[in-house]
Structure 1
Amino acid sequence: MSRSDNLLPRQLGDAHIRLLRIYKAVIESGGFSSAEVILNISRPAISQAISELESLLQMRLCNRGRSGFSITEEGEAVYQATLQLLSSLETFRAQINAINTDLRGELNIGITDNMVSMPRMRITRSLAALKQRGPEIVINIRMIPPNAIETAVLDGQLQIGVVPELRTLPGLNYFPLYEERSELYCSDTHPLFGRYDSEISEQDLASAEAVLPAYPQAAEIRQQQAGLKASASSTDREGIAFLILSGEYIGFLPTHFAERWVRDGKLRAIQPGQRYFHTQFMAITRKGARTNLVLEAYLEELINTERAG
């Protein structure tokens, strides 16, 4: 590609920042396919964005093709510069928010899917309390996979996230929120539905087609799923419910999420005394982030909901 002294315009707009965010996600996920889940956009759209960024910068950022995905030396330098830029943007936002002593601004929060039916509504109760303290606060919620939430909190797109406890990243603070129980379910049209638990053998479960999550799982969860016949997957728990309700698959669902269908006789738990696991959900924030009064107020309200029980 040809070079020039001024590759970028004098003013970087939202469109340029968007391209850099897409590029960052591609590099951190190791390719276009993996970035689809994080970004929630199609692979062709990601490819077009990277090509547009390469054209703008007049350099090859990454290699892709039959030989696989890899970052170029120039691409690594651009990635590091992108991290600095996005961090500076978040610092600016935090500094401006700190000026607002009347709790004005935005709360950007990312939440793992299908938690709204949790019996202890700490998230909704704390959001209500925050809104009462700052009526002008704008609350933005994104329902995205846990790894995408971690990435967005780290680069400042989100101020706080709610994710299952799978790993501990050095750049994040963790606050315990919920413990969630999941059990193994089948629908009323599945062959196992009408059988007593005592009649269902290990071989019956091993031969039944199962839907498994297409996202990282804790060791306890993987152990429970190890003996199942994985023949379908889903990127979220609503997708798992769809497949179980089809009558063709068994799979694990949170008990609070499955309760509506159990109550209506559409689902039943299989051997709930044996086939279950617990997931701890955590609130996460970025370490070292500048003072943000809106975020601090929300964290205070989350702590208050724990005390209230």
Structure 2
Amino acid sequence: MIQNTTLLPRQLGDSHIRLLRIYKSVVENGGFANAEVDLNISKPAISQAISELESLLAMRLCNRGRAGFSVTEQGQQVYLSTLQLLASLETFRSQINGINTELTGELNIGITDNMVTVPQMRITEALRRLKQQAPKVVINISMIPPDEVESGILDGHLHIGIVPHLRSIAGLTYQSLYQERSLLYCANNHPLFDKDLSIISDQALAGYDAVVPTYPQSLEIKQQQAKLNATATSTDREGIAFLILTGRFIGFLPTHFAERWVKEDKMRAVDEHNRYFATKFCAITRKGARSNLILEAYLSALS
């Protein structure tokens, strides 16, 4: 007969929550070294905390050594339970905010890369208004891919996300923000730069190397990308800009993001009347989530 043993005390204190937060960071950063920056504590201190947590739980959470870092099966289960616990704590804090007239707590936001140069500045303006209304609110921004933003909203560790609206997920609500126009660009040291760029055939375009994104795209965007001779990829738009500026690649960039280089005559749009697409961006929140006055205040400012 297997006898269950109570490993944790009946009341979890701040010290236990701290150990779990450290463990969460180690897992998400793929090891102790990368977690140092995130946690702002030394690697030996992280190692000691993980050893203390393993001793407390009487189980090995992760393997570390010459073979590299990996999470054990039990460690993965503890990680998932930790996410639930921390999300519950934030939910409790949000519920208290619903009672307390003074807004305190956190707003966790996930944003797709390179949105800060969007001319409308609605995200920035909404953050300014929120901080003015609720100076004690702590704002945490994560710059992550759209699919990670979506999963973060669904599992509760993010309150709101800003993503391109490429699909609709049943558990999320969507608030339209703005459209982003993208054009095909080449750099000033590319063979196309000094040519007539008002129009170019698909056949001629295929003669030049191009960089395309690896993140999800709408059908319209995929149709435009399919005409390119893709010999490089990037996980984000900054990476695309890096390769365009080498003068060896062409690629699509949002006009607001490319504007700085266009003004400096370092980039030019290629056949802009035919080589373009629009991307719709929206704010997403979890459908059916409990009332959260901080989130409501931010959504109000955003709209």
TM-score after normalising by structure 2? 0.77
Count of aligned pairs between the two proteins: 275
What secondary structure does 1:230 align onto?
Answer: strand
**Alignment CA distance shift 1:146-1:195 (3 Å):** same
What secondary structure does 1:291 align onto?
Answer: coil
- Alpha-carbon distance in structure 1 between the residues aligned to 2:26 and 2:171: 21
Q: How far off is 1:285 after superposition?
A: 0.9
- Contact kept, 8 Å, 1:100 with 1:293, in 2: the verdict is no
Which one has the largest radius of gyration? 2
Q: State whether structure 2 residue 253 is matched by structure 1 residue 253.
A: yes
**Who is 2:106 aligned against?**
106
**Who is 2:159 aligned against?**
159
Q: Which amino acid aligns with 1:301?
A: A
- Contact kept, 8 Å, 1:188 with 1:247, in 2: the verdict is yes
Which deviations, in whole Å up to 9, do the C-alpha atoms of 1:55-103 show, x marking residues without a partner?
9675999xxxxxxxxx98x899778856754553342232233233112
- The 5 A counterparts of 1:277-288 are 277-288=277-288
**Who is 2:183 aligned against?**
183
- Alpha-carbon distance in structure 1 between the residues aligned to 2:180 and 2:58: 47
- Contact kept, 8 Å, 2:153 with 2:285, in 1: the verdict is yes
- Alpha-carbon distance in structure 2 between the residues aligned to 1:54 and 1:148: 28
Q: Which amino acid aligns with 2:107?
A: L
- Alpha-carbon distance in structure 1 between the residues aligned to 2:189 and 2:205: 16
**Alignment CA distance shift 1:82-1:140 (3 Å):** closer
**Alignment CA distance shift 1:94-1:131 (3 Å):** same
Q: How far off is 1:281 after superposition?
A: 0.3
**Who is 1:44 aligned against?**
none
- Alpha-carbon distance in structure 2 between the residues aligned to 1:140 and 1:198: 44
**Who is 2:299 aligned against?**
299
- Alpha-carbon distance in structure 1 between the residues aligned to 2:58 and 2:26: 15
**Alignment CA distance shift 1:84-1:195 (3 Å):** same
Q: Which amino acid aligns with 1:16?
A: L
**Alignment CA distance shift 1:104-1:89 (3 Å):** closer
- Alpha-carbon distance in structure 1 between the residues aligned to 2:138 and 2:199: 54
**Who is 2:215 aligned against?**
215
Which deviations, in whole Å up to 9, do the C-alpha atoms of 1:189-217 show, x marking residues without a partner?
01111111356332221121111112111
What secondary structure does 2:140 align onto?
Answer: strand
Q: Which amino acid aligns with 1:241?
A: A
**Who is 2:129 aligned against?**
129
- Alpha-carbon distance in structure 1 between the residues aligned to 2:117 and 2:142: 17
What secondary structure does 2:156 align onto?
Answer: coil
- Contact kept, 8 Å, 1:214 with 1:234, in 2: the verdict is yes
Q: Which amino acid aligns with 2:127?
A: L
